[in-house]
Amino acid sequence: MMMMMMMMMMMMMMMMMMVLVVVVVMMMMMMMMMMMMMMMMMMMMIMMIMIMLMMMMMMMMMMMIDGNKDVGLICFICITVDDGDKETDKEN
């Protein structure tokens, strides 16, 4: 009888430990998920800001380039070339 009681107690203890471990693991997973979500949000915010900056830069390029030239690779060429040098722009 005593042995049976001991076995039952051991089983209960093991079950409790298992439950605790599972709960802890779940908590850890939740924490990790939250951290990942936060990181993703931060990355999204940074990406949005970067895209906004890129758009602003493109707008500035469009403003700088004259209307008659087609806007393609010329924007990238115009970054290096000054507005004053019209001859170099024509060559490109």
Please tell me the pTM assigned to this model: 0.32
Q: How high is the pLDDT of residue 92?
A: 47
Low-confidence residues of the chain, pLDDT below 70?
1, 64-92
CA distances from 51 to 2, 19, 55 (A): 72, 47, 6
Q: How high is the pLDDT of residue 67?
A: 55
Sign of CA dihedral 40, 44, 47, 53: negative
Q: How high is the pLDDT of residue 31?
A: 80
